[in-house]
Amino acid sequence: MKVLDTLAQAIRLPDLRQRFYFMLGAFAVFILGRHIPLPGVDREMMARLFEHGGVVGLIDIFSGGALRRFSIFALGIMPYINASIIMQLLTVALPQLEELAKEGGEAGRRQIARYTRYLTVALAFVQGLGLTTWLRGLGIFEASVLTQMVILIELTAGTSFLMWLGEELTEKGIGNGVSLIIFLGIMAALPQEIWQTAQLILTGAVTPFQVFLLAAIFVFSMAGIIFIQQGERRIPVQYAKRIIGNRMVGGASSYLPL
């Protein structure tokens, strides 16, 4: 109850309430975009492609089911994440970018963010090209170069919009926008994944023990990641005593968290 009371009191603050409403609106836009289909795609063949899960099923989870529906958000936010990782590596590898990041101040960070956006669009185009070429070979949509280009442009535009939405969520919402979009995508696809797992158990394709074992591995892996992420090494620090007037002060003990 204390958590609910704290949340209710926080929402009463005008600024936080506005951020909360903006976040809900962004979530609604994301969920709506998951259901906007791309033209010329055979839905039944797409459904059969995802029946057995595999790698495409895992990618579909991060897109919130948008890849299964082959909507405008089918690529999800992954090209932006890949671009951010590449830019972080390039910042260490290239002296010019390293100097821009360390000494450029706010202007330098904005410039690197601009480079990340450009790289996101390029990666979305390349990944979309690979995806559409693969699906075209499977006969998911008609073998027309024009149709493939239209779908490719819409996929790139969808990822670009999600990138913008994530940045707006970070600035005007609550928390990191990209992380929120990934979280919402996983939660949106979770009920369907649970239903499919239940069907596999009922048909005997998998056993309850296998599902329990996989869930246990997942929970322990998450616990290990959190333990390592939140862990710290405390270096003890002893402050020297000083005499101020007729009093001796100081001598307190503390630590430096590493």
Task: Report the alpha-carbon distance of residue 180 to residue 169 in Å, rounded.
Answer: 8
What is the percent of the chain where pLDDT is above 70? 84
Counting other chains too, the contacts that 58-62 makes at CB distance below 8 Å and 24 or more residues apart are 60/189, 61/185, 61/186, 61/189, 61/193, 62/182, 62/185, 62/186
Q: Which two tokens stand for residue 115?
A: 């480079």
Alpha-carbon gap, residue 79 to 152, rounded angstroms: 14
Closest CA to 56 of 68, 71, 70: 68
- What are the tens digits of pLDDT across the range 190-234? 777 788 778 878 888 778 888 889 889 989 998 988 888 777 777
- Confidence class for position 71, pLDDT limits 50, 70, 90: confident
> If pLDDT is split at 50, 70 and 90, which confidence band does 58 have?
low
Determine the distance from the C-alpha atom of residue 110 to the mean position of all C-alpha atoms in its chain, rounded to a whole number.
Answer: 21
- The full set of domains in the chain, from first to last, is 2-205 (1.10.3370.10)
Structure tokens at 249: 């002060």
Does 1 have pLDDT greater than 60?
A: no
pLDDT digits (tens, 9 = 90+) for 22-34: 888 988 998 888 8
pLDDT tens for 165-179 read 988 998 888 888 888
Q: What is the pLDDT of residue 157?
A: 92
Question: Higher-confidence residue: 253 or 148?
Answer: 148
Indicate the pLDDT class of residue 117, thresholds 50, 70 and 90. very high
